[in-house]
Structure 1
Amino acid sequence: MRFVYQSALAVAYLCVAAAAAICNGKIKPKVMIITFFNSEGEIYLTKSNTTGALDFRAKQHRVPYASPEFPYLHCTADADACLMTTGEAEIQATATTMALLADPALDLRETYWVLTGIGGGAPDQVTLGAVTLARFTVQVGMSYEMDAREAPPAFNTGYVPQGTESPGAVWGSVYNSEVFEVNGALRDTLTAMVDPARVADSAAAAAYRANYAEVPAFAPGAAPPAVHHCDSVTSDTWFTGAMLAETHKRRVDLWTNGTGTYCTTAQEDGAVLGALVRGALESRVDFERVAIVRTVSDFDRPYPGQSVMDNLINGTVGYPIAIENVWVAGESIARGIIGAWNETFKSGVPAQNYVGDVWGVLGGAPDFGPGRVSGGEPVVLPGAKAQQQMVKSAKHRTRRSRFQK
């Protein structure tokens, strides 16, 4: 029995060491592309027949408990890259991500997770069609909310951080899903893979963004699309208008200790990252291998003379190029990771910044929030502890055998 156990463990470790895309019947992708609704996912499938592009139509795997609308994982023939659509909004994104983590057919321990979706953009930072890569996502929906018309006269917004008594308060009640921080070094490495010359633009988008040119602060919004480093906010509420945009910009600044820069809106980023933190605690994923990519389909506030309602309903002229650029960015990144797997990505891109959630459950000292809960050490769950020890033992035996040879 002991021999069978040790042999099985040795074979399992050799599969990990070989980074085989399919090992012992398990799908072991190098890259997992996450999209959130049909158009974002379909662009990858449609573009699969483009010369030189990754073909996500080659393999299909049904993921138990995934969205009934999007039940299948789509992969390349070698399963090096896979594509999953979660469904829109936080509940859908969390549930599908957890379904992926729980699927026994998948080995995700070395997988890079690349979240790619569209969102609104702040014209003081980005423009229509822009590609953004984030280090932070902030859950701005976690607030006390009152109608601004009934707020105290001294308040400049109806949003107040939970557990506090004023909009400018930093921390009150903490649920541990307010902020997530990902690997900045990985973000920088992946950014170089997105060719700015390939970022799509359109005449309609150019004409619309020209309306922002008369405001000096909105010069980025009037410019052609480019690739940016800036951060996303997560909320299921679609908001528009200068007041709410400034409110959430201040929240990002407060909750990241001035390190984050708000530029895009999203419904799902924090939801996926919350699930991935739990996956990391169970040794199912490596949270240092997560990237957040958003492309801009519309602006979060109107141009001078435009109503907020018109901006909300008629301001989505950047939608076609934002969808196109979801694929431009995501597919370029996936190909880049696969192409440099042995040289760069198999061993990982070491983070130079804190990576994790508000409480520091993965270890380290958060550079935002009220402080860690585990003294800088990761929270180790009982099952994960045993699994980690098995992997360490297998690695030690392998290193020793190589040295002896």
Structure 2
Amino acid sequence: MSLMKFRRGLAVVGLALVAQLAGAAEPAVPAQAAPSARIAVKMVVVANFENGADTGDKPGEYQFWVEREHLDQTIAVRGAERPVRRNDQGLYGLILSDMDAFVLDPRFDFSHTYWLFTGISGGNPNEVSVGSAAWARWVVNGDQLREFDDRQVPRDWPYGLFAIGAMKPNALPTDPNGFGSVESPEELGMAYTLNPSLVQWAYELTKGVKIPDTAELAARRKAWVGFPNAQKPPQVILGETLGSKRYWHGSMRNQWAEDWVKLWTGGKGRFVMTNMESQNAAQRIKRYGQLHLLDPQRVLVLRTASNPSMPPPGMDPLATIGDETPGQVAAYEANYRVGVPVIHEILQHWDRYQSVLPGAATQAH
């Protein structure tokens, strides 16, 4: 969650605006073209930002994918900041802010497309160490909420953040002047459930991936006395991602994040990764699924820890907020190392996975 990511997060084009731009574009093929005339996209990897060029300079979230998967072919898409890239095996790559223009481009057919959303995050030290990777079962929205200054909340409140429509923290909406009572958190856009069979399949395929460790990461882990998971070498786990445009940090907000994820997943999810984009990606997935432009059941979210979401014991939060060294490059590496086996498996066995989702295919055998 670097300052660069914050700035880029503010610059992301809204869904409606991009839709207008794409709708105003002159289509490469007629909008009424038969499905057989469109390009069937097999798989897309989505990153959130890149530091500079796509190749050859300081890497961001995208560069390892472009260079190592040889995404050398470029496709200009009207309304996209960068060209969409692809390789001969059928893997496409892009930046999240360009997803809208890509999905709305009538040249492409996404009815059987698999999507892998990747990115670096703040990792919850109660669950993971820096450099670790987590496959999300839920993406939880941390943007829409009510807020009181923590200095003015009732004494029995843990913090001043609570759900719109609720009257206290850790409660679902009941206030008719807010959301009203809630039947499904997903209906409110607060928790997006990913295909559990597909997520479990991806985890089983990659749980043994060796994520590179470094001496500097190991040295920093020693500060996490009393946090056994933060002292482990990088690993692959199952765990939820919380998306919030607010860049928060510290033990008190970490407690809020753990509680918030439990609240909106019915106590089933655990907060592992925090970032500023995953809720935006989930909103896109849901909307385009409703429009039958893509299949939400074919979506995976992989986040990796570039920094802890709170400081080690005894350390001032100001000393650690935004400090992604040496974790940033380690997290880029983990994104690629853990994500690429899933991509290769799907593309190499496309004759199977085009019509049968991997989790279902595994169960069938």
Question: TM-score scaled to structure 1, two decimals?
Answer: 0.72
Do the aligned residues in 1 keep the contact of 2:221 with 2:230 (CA within 8 Å)? yes
Structure 1: gaps spanning 5 or more residues: 1-10, 16-23, 49-53, 87-91, 353-405
Match in the other structure for 1:188: 200
Matched, 1:55 2:70: yes
Q: Deviations over 1:193-221 (max 9, x none)?
A: 33634312211111111211x21xx1111
CA distance in 2, matches of 1:325, 1:261: 20
Matched, 1:135 2:148: no
Question: Structure 1 pair 65/258, CA: closer, same or farther in 2 (3 Å)?
Answer: same
CA distance in 1, matches of 2:41, 2:337: 20
Q: Deviations over 1:148-182 (max 9, x none)?
A: 12223222112111122211212254472211000
Do the aligned residues in 2 keep the contact of 1:129 with 1:325 (CA within 8 Å)? yes
Give, in angstroms, the shift of residue 280 of structure 1. 1.5
CA distance in 2, matches of 1:157, 1:171: 17
Matched, 1:251 2:266: no
Question: Structure 1 pair 101/344, CA: closer, same or farther in 2 (3 Å)?
Answer: closer
Match in the other structure for 1:31: 43
Matched, 1:208 2:228: no
Match in the other structure for 1:160: 162
Match in the other structure for 2:85: 74
Could you list the runs of 4 or more consecutive aligned residues of structure 1 that deviate by over 6 angstroms after TM superposition? none
Give, in angstroms, the shift of residue 12 of structure 1. 5.1
Question: Structure 1 pair 315/303, CA: closer, same or farther in 2 (3 Å)?
Answer: farther
Do the aligned residues in 2 keep the contact of 1:184 with 1:351 (CA within 8 Å)? no
Match in the other structure for 1:179: 191
Helix, strand or coil: the match of 1:40?
A: coil
- Aligned letter for 1:167? P
Q: Deviations over 1:312-338 (max 9, x none)?
A: 143542111101111112222211111
Give, in angstroms, the shift of residue 99 of structure 1. 1.9
Matched, 1:321 2:342: no
Helix, strand or coil: the match of 1:113?
A: strand
CA distance in 2, matches of 1:73, 1:296: 26
Of 48, 65, 82, which aligns to 1:44? 65
Question: Structure 1 pair 183/197, CA: closer, same or farther in 2 (3 Å)?
Answer: closer
Q: CA RMSD for the aligned pairs?
A: 2.0
Q: Deviations over 1:5-45 (max 9, x none)?
A: xxxxxx956x5xxxxxxxx3x33221110100100111212
CA distance in 2, matches of 1:315, 1:301: 12
Question: Structure 1 pair 101/155, CA: closer, same or farther in 2 (3 Å)?
Answer: same
Match in the other structure for 2:347: 338
For 1:298-317, what aligned pairs fall within 5 Å after superposition?
298-314=307-323, 316-317=325-326
CA distance in 2, matches of 1:346, 1:12: 20
Give, in angstroms, the shift of residue 108 of structure 1. 0.7
Q: Deviations over 1:196-250 (max 9, x none)?
A: 34312211111111211x21xx111100011100101010111111110111110
Do the aligned residues in 1 keep the contact of 2:120 with 2:303 (CA within 8 Å)? yes
- Aligned letter for 1:310? A
Q: Deviations over 1:133-154 (max 9, x none)?
A: 0110111221112221222322
Match in the other structure for 1:104: 106
- Aligned letter for 1:61? I
Question: TM-score scaled to structure 2, two decimals?
Answer: 0.80
CA distance in 2, matches of 1:168, 1:198: 37
Helix, strand or coil: the match of 1:254?
A: helix
Helix, strand or coil: the match of 1:37?
A: coil
CA distance in 2, matches of 1:97, 1:126: 30
Do the aligned residues in 2 keep the contact of 1:117 with 1:293 (CA within 8 Å)? yes
Question: Structure 1 pair 44/350, CA: closer, same or farther in 2 (3 Å)?
Answer: closer
Question: Structure 1 pair 275/122, CA: closer, same or farther in 2 (3 Å)?
Answer: same
Structure 2: gaps spanning 5 or more residues: 1-32, 51-59, 180-186
Give, in angstroms, the shift of residue 271 of structure 1. 1.2
Match in the other structure for 2:211: 199
Give, in angstroms, the shift of residue 277 of structure 1. 1.6
Do the aligned residues in 1 keep the contact of 2:307 with 2:323 (CA within 8 Å)? no
CA distance in 1, matches of 2:217, 2:116: 26
Question: Structure 1 pair 280/197, CA: closer, same or farther in 2 (3 Å)?
Answer: closer
Question: Share of identical aligned residues, percent?
Answer: 24
